[in-house]
Amino acid sequence: MARLSIVTDNPRPASRPERSAKAEQTRQTIIDAAMRLFRTHGYDKATMRAIADEAGVSIGNAYYYFSSKEHLIQAYYDGINAEHAERAAATLATATTFADRLTGVLLAWVDVAEPYHEFAGKFFKNAAEPSSPLSPFSADSEATRVAAIDLHRQVIDGSDIKLAKALRAELPELLWLLQMGVVLFWVHDTSDGQRRTRQLVEQAVPVVDRALRLTRIPGVRGLVDDVVGLVRTIKPTAG
Amino acid sequence: MARLSIVTDNPRPASRPERSAKAEQTRQTIIDAAMRLFRTHGYDKATMRAIADEAGVSIGNAYYYFSSKEHLIQAYYDGINAEHAERAAATLATATTFADRLTGVLLAWVDVAEPYHEFAGKFFKNAAEPSSPLSPFSADSEATRVAAIDLHRQVIDGSDIKLAKALRAELPELLWLLQMGVVLFWVHDTSDGQRRTRQLVEQAVPVVDRALRLTRIPGVRGLVDDVVGLVRTIKPTAG
DNA sequence: ACCAAGAGTTGAACACGTTCAAGAATGGAG
DNA sequence: CTCCATTCTTGAACGTGTTCAACTCTTGGT
């Protein structure tokens, strides 16, 4: 797995000095220890005490770097996302049609996330709470969310699809929502290799593609405007 | 609020003897104490110790009746559902158009759930874990889920809307999914009185209504078949 | 009346995530 | 080098949900 991109949970002003090299190393040590324990012993056994122990630091020290266990898990989550972005970029470099590009991006996520499926449920549980920093709708996740939405903008922009301007502007966010739906399905998917989730993606994408191409016919255009209006009304302050 | 219907977390075979009257009373006392504390002091302050204390029993005794704090919260959830079904029935008795019926059912839920919004997130957290019996997709929730889906069947059947047979068969499930989406939005909605969720419902329902009425025009019919096919493929074993 | 057997009840104890006051190491200014 | 402010580190302690062995009470059969 690619190197993790670590998200500072309390981002400082850019003017402040950087963290020392040693501190950065300790931080990474803790994350590595956490990853190791999650993989080998599962979510429940990977207690903050065990992680700190594995990393060779005190509990308090672990909390100096990560203000909660959830923030520590978020480093994990960020790692998955970083690898997804990487693989998705590879797909986007070759695929040209909208359907192929979207399928590629969604399946890349399923591929990358597969090793974590076992404890994804536990992770998901924490992410579901609105006040949790792990929630995909939270302020803490904004950077990740924006990046993911931008990925879908690339899916659209690099493709052959023709869309009304207003729809094109809102579609990346809607596709991200679709991805969240896929994740929801994936979490509940117990088939091996998450076969059914892949099936869902492969069947759903052509439907989406077809629906989008229908947006240009007269009777449907008004509906599209309504949908765009709805999204715009609902978006600003809440997820 | 109407009387709570209590769900036994470990349902026994019907042949077993009933719980004693005194036990049933103690059980109810604990729930009442929990409700009181949740309402007055919020979720975090309503610790198991505080609840047991308020009910005049020991901690261990509270756990004798509810195998976890989650199960205690489920009593709450069941109460909401029961009251929703009641209010929805009232709406369905008078509203005739599809849009009015759907809006009525969805807003009824928002009305009923409003007092619980503060700690709904905590409940939601538990419900999100796939292995949890509280998950709306779980086998344990099947009765509740089937009832809710049937409610949406009534929304359709009693209305003026005309739909293709295949779509009509799958639509109740899709509307239930829409309701789950509304709940997801509602959980994250911090506007007062969940104003924005009501706005979402009032704006989204006409769009859904319009979309459904478009399903009869020729170019769209193929898409509808695809969607129905997708739903049927995906439904059987996973949520 | 007596006695098992089960139902109901208890609170100390456990492991967990998290906090905090206190101390140790670091690095730049003089 | 000395000093001091800042960064980094520590582990005991807190409150939480949950468990459990031991206890008391209730019930029904003899």
Interface test with A, best of B119, B124, B129 (most A CBs within 10 A): B129
Does the pLDDT of residue B50 top 60, yes or no? yes
Q: What is the mean pLDDT of residues A184-189?
A: 92
In this prediction, residue B113 carries a pLDDT of 92
Residue A219, sorted as left (phi over 0), alpha (psi -120 to 50) or beta, turns out to be alpha
A213 in contact with chain B, both atoms CB, cutoff 8 A = no
Contact between B1 and B79 under an 8 Å Cβ cutoff? The reply is yes
B190 in contact with chain A, both atoms CB, cutoff 8 A = yes
A193 in contact with chain B, both atoms CB, cutoff 8 A = no
Cross-chain Cβ contact A207/B219 below 8 Å:
no
A140 in contact with chain B, both atoms CB, cutoff 8 A = no
What's the alpha-carbon Rg for chain A, to the nearest Å?
20
Tokens in use for A187? 């979490």
In this prediction, residue B236 carries a pLDDT of 67
Please, what is the angle between helix B98-113 and helix B69-94, to 10°? 150
Does the pLDDT of residue A15 top 70, yes or no? no
CA–centroid distance for A149 within its chain: 9
Q: Give the separation between CA A135 and CA A139, rounded to whole angstroms.
A: 9
Contact between A208 and A178 under an 8 Å Cβ cutoff? The reply is yes
In this prediction, residue A239 carries a pLDDT of 42
pLDDT range class, residue A97, cuts 50, 70, 90: very high
Q: What's the pLDDT tens digit per position in B173-230?
A: 999 999 999 999 999 998 999 999 999 999 999 999 999 999 988 888 889 999 999 9
Does the pLDDT of residue A142 top 90, yes or no? no
Burial B33-65 (b: 16+ CB within 10 A, else e): bbbebbeeeebeebeeeebbebbebeeeebeeb
Q: What's the pLDDT tens digit per position in B95-135?
A: 999 999 999 999 999 999 998 887 787 777 777 788 776 78
Q: What's the pLDDT tens digit per position in B15-29?
A: 334 567 777 889 999
Does the pLDDT of residue A24 top 60, yes or no? yes
- Structure-token match 């963290």, residue found: A19
Q: Give the separation between CA B176 and CA B155, rounded to whole angstroms.
A: 11
Does the pLDDT of residue A9 top 60, yes or no? no
Contact between B195 and A234 under an 8 Å Cβ cutoff? The reply is no
Contact between A69 and A48 under an 8 Å Cβ cutoff? The reply is yes
Does the pLDDT of residue A188 top 60, yes or no? yes
Q: Give the separation between CA A156 and CA A164, rounded to whole angstroms.
A: 12
Cross-chain Cβ contact A214/B210 below 8 Å:
no
In this prediction, residue B163 carries a pLDDT of 94
Tokens in use for B174? 């899709």
In this prediction, residue B4 carries a pLDDT of 37
| More confident: B195 or A3 | B195
Does the pLDDT of residue B39 top 60, yes or no? yes
Taking a contact as any Cβ pair under 8 Å apart, which residues of chain A between 215 and 234 contact chain B?
A: 217, 219-220, 222-223, 226-227, 229-230, 233-234
Percent of chain A with pLDDT over 90: 61
Task: Name which of B57, B210, B170, B208 is nearest A220 in CA terms.
Answer: B210
CA–centroid distance for B33 within its chain: 23
Q: What is the mean pLDDT of residues A171-188?
A: 95
Interface test with B, best of A44, A230, A232, A235 (most B CBs within 10 A): A230
Please, what is the angle between helix B218-234 and helix B165-188, to 10°? 70
Q: Name, in order, each residue with C-beta under 8 angstroms of B237's C-beta and a sequence gap of 6 or more.
A: A191, A196
Contact between A26 and A65 under an 8 Å Cβ cutoff? The reply is yes
Residue B20, sorted as left (phi over 0), alpha (psi -120 to 50) or beta, turns out to be beta
Q: Give the separation between CA B45 and CA B43, rounded to whole angstroms.
A: 6
Contact between A210 and B161 under an 8 Å Cβ cutoff? The reply is no
Percent of chain B with pLDDT over 70: 90
Query: Quick one: which H or E segment has residue A183?
Result: helix A165-188
DSSP character at residue B20:
P
Task: Name which of A137, A176, A119 is nearest B121 in CA terms.
Answer: A137
In this prediction, residue B20 carries a pLDDT of 72
Average pLDDT, chain B: 86
Q: Give the separation between CA B142 and CA B153, rounded to whole angstroms.
A: 16
DSSP character at residue B194:
G
Q: Give the separation between CA B51 and CA B238, rounded to whole angstroms.
A: 37
In this prediction, residue B58 carries a pLDDT of 97
In this prediction, residue A200 carries a pLDDT of 97
> How many Cα neighbours within 13 Å face the side chain of A235?
13
Q: What's the pTM?
A: 0.84
pLDDT range class, residue A154, cuts 50, 70, 90: very high
Of the listed ranges A51-55, A202-206, B41-45, B194-198, the least confidently predicted one is B41-45
In this prediction, residue B148 carries a pLDDT of 92
pLDDT range class, residue B7, cuts 50, 70, 90: very low
Q: What is the mean pLDDT of residues A16-21?
A: 56
